[in-house]
Amino acid sequence: MFWKFDLHTSSHLEAILDKEDVTLAELMDEEDVLQECKAQNRRLLLFLCQEQCMQELVCMITTEPPAGGEETQRFKYPNIACELLTCDVGVINDKLGNEESLLETLYAFLEQPSPLNPLLASFFSKTIGNLITRKTEQVINFLRKKEGFLSLVLKHIDTSAMMDVLLRLISCVEPAPLRLETLTWLNAEKLAERLVELIHPERDEERQSNASQTLCDIIRLSRDQANQLQEISQPDPLLSVLESQECVEQLLQNMFSGERTESCIVNGIQVLLTLLEIRRPV
């Protein structure tokens, strides 16, 4: 029954797009801008995918808003910007994943001093995670060219959103050969060993806890994927390192040599218990 459909919002959005000097902020003030984007409103997507608009959207989710700014600028716009960038519309994914200048703006978020803004970190993680899933090859190639990428992620591991970035790289890369290539790269960068190093009495508790949780998740994800992908003969390089005697010895040494702290022992035990889990195939 066609009379139930309300075309007012769409026509209102069209009226805004008809303006010669329309701004991104004006469109983001519209309640249904996200709905229209997901519905692939052609004119809206053409506007959003302009270089300047895309740069503005990426800056909104990676740049600390002014301390005395209005609430819309501090919270509403960055949130809407993240939703627009991750709404899984092909042309937006293509623009963001294929334009190196946009990826550079996004990546610059990691180069900020600690601590990161947790809200912006969650927006960054969600956006880069969506790209890892949808524009896998382009984004992996971009990150591999960044020599300090893993160091920056581990530097900010006290922000929980950084754990999600690492887990996306381990669990969301397809096809299988590219996944193995990515794991081999992460292993060459000594991801497992560096996470174990963070479970140490000299590290702050948040860093230890997040490193421990990340290691546990890597072990479980890697074992699950090994069970699902029986056709791949090569073992998971990260899992092989984590299950090695050397890695376990290093973890035990961190826990019990020198100063002993409750945080280090508890987080280390979590990793050891995960390594000892029996994973029966379903």
Cα of 100 vs its chain's centroid, Å: 17
46 found inside a domain: no
Q: Which domain holds residue 216?
A: 199-222+240-275
203 found inside a domain: yes
Which of helix, strand or coil describes residue 145? coil
Cα 42 to Cα 47, 230, 265, distances in angstroms: 9, 43, 56
Q: Total structural domains in the chain? A: 1
- Asked whether the predicted pLDDT for residue 11 surpasses 80, the reply is no
- Whole-structure pTM value: 0.90
Residue with tokens 């895309």: 54
State the chain's maximal CA–CA distance in angstroms: 75
The stretch 179-197 carries a mean pLDDT of 97
93 found inside a domain: no
32 found inside a domain: no
Q: What is the per-residue pLDDT across 108-144, written as a single tens digit (0 to 9) for each? A: 999 999 999 999 999 999 999 999 999 999 999 999 9
* Model pLDDT, residue 42: 93
CB 226 within 8 A of CB 236: yes
193 found inside a domain: no
- Asked whether the predicted pLDDT for residue 145 surpasses 60, the reply is yes
The stretch 171-192 carries a mean pLDDT of 94
52 found inside a domain: no
- Asked whether the predicted pLDDT for residue 19 surpasses 90, the reply is no
- Asked whether the predicted pLDDT for residue 102 surpasses 70, the reply is yes
CB 54 within 8 A of CB 96: yes
Q: What is the mean pLDDT of the chain?
A: 90
User: For residue 232, what pLDDT band results from cuts at 50, 70 and 90?
Assistant: low
User: For residue 16, what pLDDT band results from cuts at 50, 70 and 90?
Assistant: confident
Instruction: Report how far residue 87's alpha carbon sits from residue 107's, in angstroms, rounded to the nearest whole number.
Output: 20
Amino acid at 101: S
209 found inside a domain: yes
- Asked whether the predicted pLDDT for residue 271 surpasses 70, the reply is yes
Give the gyration radius of the chain's Cα atoms.
22
The stretch 175-189 carries a mean pLDDT of 94
* Model pLDDT, residue 17: 87
Percent of the chain clearing pLDDT 90 (strictly above): 77
Polymer length of the chain: 282
Amino acid at 160: S
Q: What is the per-residue pLDDT across 37-86, written as a single tens digit (0 to 9) for each? A: 999 999 999 999 999 999 999 999 999 887 776 766 778 899 999 999 99
254 found inside a domain: yes
